[in-house]
Amino acid sequence: MVCTVNDLQQWKDFPKGLKVLLLEGDATSAAEIKPKLEAMDYNVSAFCDENEALSAISSRSESFHIAIVEVSINSGQGGFKFLENAKDLPTIMTSNDHCLSTMMKCIALGAVEFLHKPLSEDKLRNIWQHVVHKAFNASASVMSESLKPVKESVVSMLQLQTDNEQQESTYTDDDPDPGSDKYPAPSTPQLNQGLRLMDDGDCPEQTNCSIEKESGEHDGEGESKSVETTCENLNSESNNPNEPMNTEKTLVKNLAEGSRDGNHDSSVYKHTNDKVLSSDDGNTKSSNKVDSCTLKAHRKKMKIDWTPELHKKFVKAVEQLGLDQAIPSRILDLMKVEGLTRHNVASHLQKYRMHKRQILPKEEGRKWLNQRDQMQRSYCLQQRPIMAFPPPNHSNHTLSPAPVYPVWRQSGGQAAAMPVWGPPGYPLWHPTESWHWKPLPGLQMHADAWGCPVLPPPQAPLPCFSYPLNVPGMHHTSAVDYKSIMPQSSLDLHLAEEVVDKVVKEAISKPWLPLPLGLKPPSTDSVLAELSRKGISTIPPCSKGS
């Protein structure tokens, strides 16, 4: 609060008379710069000794409006000490060292601007802006919550915590506090340039940091939202006409994005990019790699590494829930994996289901797909496997080309060659040789394979049996065969039976529907015949609703 709005209002010829503290590493450069400042009618007090400068501001801090401090590369903390102890004084840092890290460090420590040397009058002319800025923002909470993550990110990147900031407790996460009067300066060309270097890395979407939608997901997924939120906040803030530093904020935010490798929790995420600092030139002071755990606010969603273990959890959850209840949110709950999002689960679940039902090649799918409306379509999709039971007169392979079942890939990669896909949900009609997932002795794989139960499946629920009426021959014979063929996976059995159940119900209730896959056969007549043969003569009145 060197200068209040009031002061400014009464300061007729502002910024003339601005009291500038100049701290240079040597008298020569001080003597060089001082005249330039004075040429603008600034009132300059030059120092070459940091401690002297500090005592000057401590003894009469009110007598300076702004400080221009050289960062001396040679002398350790040269300049920083002043910076950190002159919290109330808008401080511009200058240096011959154009290294990005230095710049950021200065800004992070509260400098209002960083100017590359040599200092021209042009660069110095408008330093008064900071004083004005401060005057108008000193009391207001400049550091909004939204900036906290940004701050943390930068700090983390620079590893300031390990360096020099014993006294600087701010970034830890507490105070975004307005008390620390230092605020980022109007961006300078240099700064922008420098920061841009940082984003050449690999954050493609950063350019449009704007509105990432997803804002919808405030739900339980206490995950990587923070940065996005930050982003939004930044944007909204940048709408403020009084805020001259949009670009800088954005860029800084980008930095945050870049440094998003930190995830504190389990091994869900792949730590893929730590290259962020690579563009950093050789700032040796803070060149250590960013500790990945420092950042809580990791930016965009990280790619989940669906390790076998994780997948196991997933499958376990799915099984616990049962197929009907296995929806992303519940699975997510059951899995209890920190950082995992519903989207992650949904995505995985989608794939999981896909492979369970062994999507047929589109071509074939098309054959029977357009036969009916959406309902019909989904019906076909769901039932197709069952319908593919080789009818007496058809060789199955002509109807259902055996898909390949990749097996779960070990994240380690050694088992990459293994088929990762588990058993198809309904492998019945597939030639045995395609059951890659089958026990596979010696490979710990199979348990992780898609669709392969990790837990003994719940014995009880075989929903299909809950229909006393719907156990026509088809079910019977098929089920029996199935069991004899595929005792390995009771889950599959379960699934198959469930599907059978559905099909039977469907067949009973809608005998008029064509069967998928162009299986001519059993179709209506056969089914009906079978039903009657089994003594089931009472076919529910075929109401669509049933």
CA distance 22 to 91: 10
Using the minimum distance from each CB to DNA, give the nearer residue, 100 or 304: 304
Measured N-to-C along each axis, helices 246-258 and 225-238 cross at an angle, to the nearest 10 degrees, of 170
Instruction: Name which of 183 and 405 has its Cβ closer to DNA.
Output: 405
CB 184 within 8 A of CB 248: yes
Which amino acid, one-letter code, is at 281? D
Least distance (Å) from DNA to the CB of residue 357? 8
Name the packing angle between helices 342-356 and 308-325 (round to 10°). 80
Instruction: Name the minimum Å distance from CB 70 to DNA.
Output: 42
Write down the least CB distance from residue 111 to DNA, Å.
34
List, as one string, the DSSP characters of 506-527: HHHH-TTSPPGGG--SSHHHHH
Q: How far is the CB of 166 from DNA (least distance, A)?
A: 38
Closest approach of DNA to the CB of residue 480, in Å: 28
Bridge partner list, 210: none
Question: Closest separation between CB of residue 218 and DNA, Å?
Answer: 7
Residue with tokens 């998928």: 516
Under a CB-based contact definition with an 8 Å cutoff, are residues 76 and 41 in contact? no
Asked whether 141 and 267 are in contact (CB, 8 A), the reply is: no
Collapsing DSSP to helix, strand or coil, 44 comes out as strand
For DNA, the binding residues (CB under 7 A) are 204-205, 212-214, 216-219, 300-301, 303-306, 326-330, 342-344, 346-351, 353-354, 359, 374, 378, 381, 406, 409, 420
Of 170 and 224, which has the nearer Cβ to DNA?
A: 224
Cβ closest to DNA, residue 330 vs residue 372: 330
Task: Tell me the torsion sign for CA atoms 124, 125, 131, 137.
Answer: negative
Strands 91-95 and 19-23: unpaired
Crossing angle for the helix pair 490-509 and 473-485, to the nearest 10 degrees? 160
Q: How far is the CB of 445 from DNA (least distance, A)?
A: 13
Nearer to DNA, 216 or 545 (CB): 216
Nearer to DNA, 264 or 476 (CB): 264
Spell out the residues 6+ positions from residue 428 whose beta carbon is closer than 8 angstroms to its own. 385, 389, 478, 481, 482, 485, 486, 496
**Cβ at position 127, least distance to DNA in Å:** 41
CB of 391 to DNA, least distance (A): 25
The answer to whether 24 and 47 are in contact (CB under 8 A) is yes
Report in angstroms the alpha-carbon separations of 479 from 140, 430, 536: 74, 15, 18
Q: Which is nearer to DNA, 354 or 529 (CB)?
A: 354
Q: Which is nearer to DNA, 351 or 476 (CB)?
A: 351
Question: Quick one: 245 or 268, whose CB is closer to DNA?
Answer: 268
In the DSSP assignment, the letter for residue 268 is: -
